Amino acid sequence: MLVIEELVTSYPDWRVTFSATLPKGEITALIGPSGAGKSTLLGMIAGFVPVESGTLTFDGQDLLSLGPAERPVTTLFQDHNLFLHLSVFDNIAIGLHPGLRLNPAQKRLVQEAADKVGLGEMLTRLPEQLSGGQQQRVGLARALVRGRPLLLLDEPFSALDPALRREMLAEVARLACEQDITVLMVSHNPEDAQLIADQVLFIDAGRIALQGKPDILHSSDHPGLLRYLGRALAPQ
């Protein structure tokens, strides 16, 4: 379980404070307007954004005392950062060792990660020989091969067409279930939350304003959420 308690960071003209609980092995969708603080929260969890105060624990372990590389976290961004001169195998393997010096057990992990995302027969291909969806799968395999129990997704599939995006989201849901991974997923599309999320966090003005099951997207009358969803408050 990921527990976020009064986690604070400040900018010259802005301050954010986050509190939430993410159940272990579940997918949580993080939604809200642009500039609300979604990517900031992911950065605080991953260790990329300094934290001024508060607590952050995963399965009882204090994460704030750990550097980014030491945290049980993998982050997948929209830009999957594939190395164009490296094969699919090496692009996945670099998640285990930047110098690509792998022992036999690690090589098996790369093969298994590739198999899990449907790329087991494409390990010798270069990124330019892959479709957009296949390139995204390489990025996902690289994230999975590290074996970290907490996966942060910062809109990695937003550039894909709707059908392919839904396919990749379903893939994440399947893999998260199989490997008991806790997922926090930033999305600008509320449909993504309804498709695979177990719960939704709505961020508004640097705070988590709502936390609940995906049906809060239809049942809540929170003014900020209604504005975000493009609806108006019904007359009282």
Q: Using CA atoms, how far apart are residues 145 and 27, in angstroms rounded to an integer?
A: 19
Domain assignment of residue 114, yes or no: yes
Looking at the structure, tell me whether residues 174 and 67 fall in a common domain: yes
pLDDT at 127: 92
Domain assignment of residue 10, yes or no: no
Q: What is the largest CA-CA distance in the chain?
A: 67
Domain assignment of residue 91, yes or no: yes
Mark 91-128 as b/e (b = at least 16 C-beta within 10 Å).
Answer: bbbbbbeeeeebeeeeeebbbebbebbebeebbebbbe
Range name among 21-30, 119-128, 155-164 with the lowest pLDDT average: 155-164
Task: Please report which helix (H) or strand (E) contains residue 204, including its range.
Answer: strand 199-204
Length of the chain, in residues: 236
Q: Report the number of distinct structural domains present in the chain.
A: 2
Q: How many C-beta neighbours within 10 Å does residue 225 have?
A: 21
Range name among 156-160, 214-218, 222-226 with the lowest pLDDT average: 156-160
pLDDT at 13: 85
The DSSP secondary-structure symbol of 163 reads H
> pTM for this structure?
0.85
Q: Which residues contact 127 (CB under 8 A, 6 or more apart)?
A: 82, 83, 84, 86, 88, 91, 135, 138
For strands 27-31 and 2-11, give the pairing. unpaired
Question: Taking residues 168-191, what's their average pLDDT?
Answer: 88
Domain containing residue 30: 23-42+62-72+149-236
Looking at the structure, tell me whether residues 31 and 141 fall in a common domain: no
Q: Is the pLDDT of residue 159 over 80?
A: no
- Tokens for 31? 């939604």
What is the domain-level CATH number for residue 197?
A: 3.40.50.300
Amino acid at 172: V
- Tokens for 138? 């390489």
User: 154 in helix, strand or coil?
Assistant: strand
Looking at the structure, tell me whether residues 216 and 166 fall in a common domain: yes
- Return the half-sphere exposure (C-beta side, CA atoms, 13 A cut-off) of residue 55: 10
Looking at the structure, tell me whether residues 122 and 89 fall in a common domain: yes
The dihedrals phi and psi of 178, each to the nearest 5 degrees, come to: -65, -35
Domain assignment of residue 2, yes or no: no
Helix axes 132-145, 104-116, angle to 10 degrees: 140
- List pLDDT tens digits, range 81-103: 789 999 999 999 988 877 888 99
pLDDT at 146: 84
Q: Is the pLDDT of residue 77 over 70?
A: yes
Domain assignment of residue 8, yes or no: no
pLDDT at 23: 92
Looking at the structure, tell me whether residues 66 and 92 fall in a common domain: no
Residues of the chain above pLDDT 90, percent: 55
- List pLDDT tens digits, range 201-215: 999 989 999 999 999
pLDDT at 152: 93
